[in-house]
């Protein structure tokens, strides 16, 4: 059985004081986190080292929100996968819709990033998801399938089990609108099938997270779906009490 994973994507929020407060609160109540649920936090890049220090000795995992598509070298402003590994990260979000739409990043870059992340010994959390227009045109499954296949182009079957996929419908991110359980399960089952075609039985080890307006109030229903292995949480991950309640929803879900 796949272990549930709940990851908080803080996006570009917070400052040093906020990092101390939020991680302090999570640590103080870590007994509320069920041992069978893996929990990760993904603070902004500049706070990763500080977060690592604050989380040392706890079960919380540390993730980055982005990574360079290049290895070490003359790439001003870029941070490599091996640097993220060096500061204590275990996970890296790749291909978030905000990077696709606001930073014009594309699948070829995501494929490079995923390859380098795996090579550095980290786990990529690769995000896919359709826009509202694409869903209305009946293209949701096609879009997600194509994004997934393009992103994992360089992943070998041996590395496949370290991959994490996140389905984040663009229309459900930060809008308060969650995809219905039926919509979520349909896309997750489709993604699982694509992974089976691509990686064989390794596909059953790959976690597929749901992201998009997940809250304590809807997490349990979503996490209980057969192909949902946890969540990628935006806004609700910035509030300790709410995030911990979402983590708890991973138990026996
Ligand atoms: P919200 O939970 O704020 O909708 O954001 C989801 C998300 O983008 C996580 O990566």
Domain hosting 232: range is 4-252
Catalytic residue among 98, 107, 130, 168: 168
CA of 243 to the centre of ligand 1 (A): 12
Q: Which structure tokens are listed for 2?
A: 């796949």
Q: What was the pLDDT predicted at 238?
A: 98
Closest CA to 123 of 10, 232, 206: 206
106 is catalytic: no
CA of 72 to the centre of ligand 1 (A): 30
Asked whether 174 lines ligand 1 (CB < 6 A), one says yes
In angstroms, how far apart are the furthest CA atoms of the chain?
A: 49
Asked whether 101 lines ligand 1 (CB < 6 A), one says no
Look at residue 209 and give its three-state secondary structure.
strand
Kindly give, in sequence order, each residue whose CB lies less than 8 Å from that of residue 208, ignoring residues fewer than 6 positions away.
164, 165, 166, 167, 188, 191, 192, 227, 228, 229
pTM (two decimals): 0.97
Per the structure, the count of domains in the chain is 1
Look at residue 149 and give its three-state secondary structure.
helix
Q: What was the pLDDT predicted at 176?
A: 87
CA of 10 to the centre of ligand 1 (A): 9
Contact 228, 184 (CB under 8 A): yes
d(CA 52, CA 138): 43
Asked whether 242 lines ligand 1 (CB < 6 A), one says no
What CATH number did the domain enclosing 39 receive?
3.20.20.70
232: β partners: 7, 211
Catalytic residue among 38, 96, 130, 242: 96
Q: Which of 211, 236, 243, 249 to mutate to test the pocket of ligand 1 (most atoms within 8 A of CB)?
A: 211
d(CA 56, CA 104): 35
Alpha helices of 63-123 — where are they, by DSSP H? 81-86, 97-101, 107-119
Encode burial over 233-245: b for 16+ CB neighbours within 10 A, e otherwise: bbbbbbbbebbbb
Q: Which of 213, 217, 238 to mutate to test the pocket of ligand 1 (most atoms within 8 A of CB)?
A: 213
168 is catalytic: yes
Report the chain (253 residues): mean pLDDT per 10 consecutive residues: 95 98 97 94 98 97 98 98 98 97 94 98 98 96 98 96 97 91 98 97 97 96 97 98 96 70
Q: What was the pLDDT predicted at 178?
A: 86
Residue 121, φ and ψ in degrees, nearest 5: 85, 20
Contact 194, 148 (CB under 8 A): yes
Q: What was the pLDDT predicted at 100?
A: 94
């Amino acid at each position: 059985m796949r272990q549930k994973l709940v990851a908080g994507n803080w996006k570009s929020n917070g400052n040093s004081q906020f990092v101390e407060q939020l991680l302090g609160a999570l640590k103080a109540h870590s007994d509320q986190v069920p041992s069978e649920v893996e929990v990760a936090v993904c603070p902004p890049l500049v706070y990763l080292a500080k977060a690592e220090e604050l989380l040392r000795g706890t079960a919380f995992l540390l993730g980055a929100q982005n990574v360079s598509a290049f290895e070490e070298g003359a790439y001003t402003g870029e941070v490599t996968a091996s640097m993220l590994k060096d500061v204590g990260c275990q996970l890296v979000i790749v291909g978030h819709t905000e990077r696709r739409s606001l930073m014009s990043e594309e699948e070829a870059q995501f494929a490079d990033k995923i390859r380098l992340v795996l090579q550095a010994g980290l786990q990529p959390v690769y995000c896919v998801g359709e826009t509202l227009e694409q869903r209305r045109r009946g293209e949701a499954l096609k879009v997600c399938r194509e994004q997934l296949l393009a992103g994992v182009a360089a992943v070998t079957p041996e590395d496949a089990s370290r991959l994490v996929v996140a389905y984040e419908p663009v229309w459900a991110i930060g809008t308060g609108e969650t995809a219905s359980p039926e919509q979520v399960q349909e896309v997750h089952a489709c993604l699982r099938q694509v992974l089976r075609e691509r990686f064989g039985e390794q596909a059953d080890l790959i976690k597929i997270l749901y992201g998009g307006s997940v809250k304590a109030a809807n997490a349990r229903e979503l996490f209980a779906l057969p192909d949902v292995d946890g969540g990628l949480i935006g806004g609700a991950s910035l509030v300790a009490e709410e995030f911990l309640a979402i983590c708890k929803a991973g138990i026996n879900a």
